[in-house]
Every structure is written in structure tokens, then in C-alpha cells.
Amino acid sequence: MTALEIILERVYDVLDDGGSGAHEHRVLVDRLWPRGITKERLDHDDWDKDVAPSSELRSAFHGGELGFEEFSDRYRHELEESDAPQALLDRAREAGAKTVVLLFAAKDTEHHHAQVLQRALQDLTG
């Protein structure tokens, strides 16, 4: 089985872009729907809240209680304890995807949960 390519795209950069590629599976990976965006404006195949950080962890990170490194470690632990990452990959494969596009809405494009999720999914795909 070939490994899936896992890429990141910021929601606000791909609004109204007219559609995904034939072999892409586009998944919003935020727990909350992006503010100010209608579902029709975002081309996506799935909204997977189960792979997003827990509300408590997200709040602690965004509230400044955790630095990115500690947040990443805790989030990675949440992902390792969950079946959700593998389920996301399984759905993408069942859809015939060669690429999984993780859609995220974070303002900070340098430090966000989708980066951590991308690495975790890449580890699962080998």
C-alpha cells in the first residue's frame, strides 16, 4: 500500500478555491468551525473534530498557559491514545485519496495543532 501524502492548508487561504483535486481528501481538523466562514465556502470532504486537541488542551495553549513544545507533547499523547487518527487515514484511503489535506484555521502559521497532527499521521502511514 502506498503512503498517503499529508499536507497542510490554512482555511482562509483556500476559501472559494473551486474544489479539491481528484485524489485529495480534504479534512477540517479544528474542533470549532472557523469563525465567519460558511460551510459552502470551504471545499472539504470531512470535518473531523475527533483528531483536534481536547478543549482543555486547546484553551491552555491559546490562553498562554502552555508553550508550543509542551502543547505538542500533550497533544501527541492525546493522538496516541485515540483511534481517531487511524480512522481519518482509513476514510481517506476508502475514498481513493492519494493526498490528505489537513485544513486548519489558526492565525499562527508557525505553531499550530495541524503540524503535530501531520507528523502523527505521517508516522502512521510509514
pLDDT single digits (tens) 47-67: 999 999 999 999 999 888 999
Give the Cα-Cα-Cα angle 114, 8, 88 (nearest 5 degrees).
Answer: 65
Q: Reply yes or no on whether the pLDDT at 115 is more than 80.
A: yes
Residue 60, helix vs strand vs coil: helix
**pLDDT of 89:** 96
Residue-level length of the chain: 126
Range of the domain at 9: 5-125
Segment 96-123 shows an average pLDDT of: 93
Tally of domains within the chain: 1
pTM, 2 dp: 0.91
What is the distance between the alpha carbons of residues 114 and 53, in angstroms, rounded to a whole number? 10
